[in-house]
């Protein structure tokens, strides 16, 4: 590639602006406009691509609705009720509070599509509970909180899967269903490591919740537990589209919080709306920048050129998937997940399709890879977030993360080598891919 070509200079500009602190979405828009100017193309094309991409993608409406649903779920007592339910189910075993941390990640996956939001929200609460009275080392609690946070964006509803559906035209309904088993596999791998550590490090046993109290605790948490069920049944039954399901999720969360639990004040509702608007604007700007830059990538014929190069390597479908695993795991250490989905993955999709890789399987594998990148040393974003939350040295945190990371990579390999693990549930429900 010519280092003085318009494309090369635009990439350099995007990198330089991002390093100077400009948000990556703004950086991609500025770099794309620079490319259009240097290439002698109409710079107004950038606005056209941005507007067409945002205003004609009906599925993007799901993003702010899922974010609002998560904010409403966290605004009142819903979080406390769900944590009480988790503690009643698994808290009685050795290392039970650590197991509660894993179980809450599965349950709260139905309310948030963001690993970072999970780590800063319920994850921060679990960090405080685990380190109270010195029950668990702060670095271990932080490591567990970081790795459990990656489950949320895999089990539906999932914002990364919504974005992948946008760029791949894969069925968002089947993507949601396909994410269930991989998410549970990751959680299971975490639970196994916790069980081993509990015996090896003699973690404490929590005071068991009497079985007679379990029905009452379950009943109080039941409305919140039903949200993922309502969404999946509604989508699969044809009652609602995934985008409509996102609106239903926000309405359902509002109904539960205000009318049933009566735990959200007008002030909390205002802040939930404000926070969701801010988060949506941040994600929306990133998507807008990626849409403009993807036009530049298309003009430069990058996907087709890469496809030709990879075909010349004579890769098998499995060889290609292994290569993608390695690439995305490395990129996940240094790039934000949405950026990878919107900039890198579209370049890989044509090759995957040419090799006959199933787009639903590929999408779930991609999202799992990106999530693991968040906890992969040395630059996993969740690692830095948890060092600030827990106030522990990065070295200690990485030491405690590694056993969990190895176990989750093993789960990723199962997902990669055995597509049926991902696709059997969608096929059971009618998927023909």
**What are 210-251's pLDDT values in tens digits?**
778 878 888 887 877 777 777 767 766 667 776 777 788 788
Per-residue confidence (pLDDT) for residue 361, from 0 to 100? 95
Each residue of 100-110: pLDDT tens digit?
A: 778 777 776 65
Beta bridge partners of 94: 205
266 CB-near residues (< 8 Å, 6+ apart)? none
Highest mean predicted confidence (pLDDT) among 69-73, 298-302, 392-396: 392-396
Average pLDDT, integer, range 354-363: 92
Show the DSSP H helices in 76-213 as ranges: 78-90, 96-108, 115-120, 122-131, 138-149, 159-168, 172-178, 180-200
C-beta of residue 178 within 8 angstroms of C-beta of residue 360: yes
Q: How confident is the model at residue 160 (pLDDT cuts 50, 70, 90)?
A: confident
> Looking at the predicted structure, is the pLDDT value of residue 113 above 60?
no
CA distance 39 to 6: 6
136 CB-near residues (< 8 Å, 6+ apart)? 97, 98, 130, 203
Helix (H) or strand (E) holding 368: helix 359-373
Nearest alpha-carbon partner for 58 in 172, 156, 178, 179 = 172
Q: What are the domain boundaries of the chain? A: 1-58+282-300, 59-281+301-429
Give the global pTM.
0.73
CA distance 236 to 215: 29
């Amino acid at each position: 590639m010519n280092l003085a070509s318009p494309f090369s200079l635009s990439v350099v500009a995007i990198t330089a602006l991002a390093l100077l602190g400009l948000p990556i979405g703004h950086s991609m828009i500025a770099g794309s406009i620079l490319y259009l100017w240097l290439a002698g193309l109409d710079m107004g094309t950038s606005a056209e691509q941005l507007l067409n991409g945002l205003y004609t993608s009906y599925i993007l409406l799901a993003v702010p609705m899922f974010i609002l649903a998560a904010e409403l779920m966290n605004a009142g007592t819903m979080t406390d009720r769900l944590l009480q339910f988790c503690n009643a189910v698994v808290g009685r075993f050795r290392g039970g509070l650590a197991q509660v941390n894993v179980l809450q990640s599965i349950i709260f996956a139905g309310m948030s599509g963001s690993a970072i939001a999970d780590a800063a929200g319920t994850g921060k609460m679990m960090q405080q509970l685990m380190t109270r009275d010195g029950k668990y080392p702060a670095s271990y609690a932080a490591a567990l909180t970081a790795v459990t946070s990656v489950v949320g964006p895999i089990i539906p509803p999932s914002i990364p899967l919504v974005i992948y559906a946008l760029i791949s035209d894969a069925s968002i309904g089947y993507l949601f269903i396909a994410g269930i088993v991989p998410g549970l596999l990751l959680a299971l791998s975490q639970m196994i490591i916790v069980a081993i550590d509990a015996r090896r490090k003699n973690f404490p046993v929590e005071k068991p919740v009497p079985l007679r109290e379990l029905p009452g605790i379950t009943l109080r948490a039941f409305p919140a537990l039903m949200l993922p069920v309502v969404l999946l049944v509604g989508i699969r039954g044809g009652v609602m589209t995934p985008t409509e399901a996102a609106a239903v999720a926000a309405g359902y969360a509002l109904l539960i919080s205000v009318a049933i639990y009566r735990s959200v004040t007008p002030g909390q509702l205002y802040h939930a709306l404000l926070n969701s608007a801010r988060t949506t604007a941040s994600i929306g700007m990133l998507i807008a920048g990626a849409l403009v830059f993807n036009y530049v990538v298309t003009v430069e014929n990058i996907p087709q050129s890469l496809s030709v190069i990879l075909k010349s390597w004579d890769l098998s479908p499995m060889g290609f998937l292994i290569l993608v695993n390695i690439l995305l795991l490395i990129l996940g250490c240094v790039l934000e997940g949405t950026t990878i989905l919107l900039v890198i993955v579209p370049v890989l999709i044509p090759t995957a399709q040419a090799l006959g890789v199933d787009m639903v399987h590929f999408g779930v594998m991609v999202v799992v890879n990106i999530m693991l990148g968040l906890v992969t040393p040395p630059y996993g974003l969740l690692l830095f977030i948890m060092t600030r939350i827990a106030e522990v040295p990065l070295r200690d945190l990485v030491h405690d993360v590694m056993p969990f990371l190895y176990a989750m990579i093993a789960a990723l390999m199962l997902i990669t080598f055995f597509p049926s693990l991902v696709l059997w549930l969608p096929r059971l429900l009618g998927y023909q891919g």
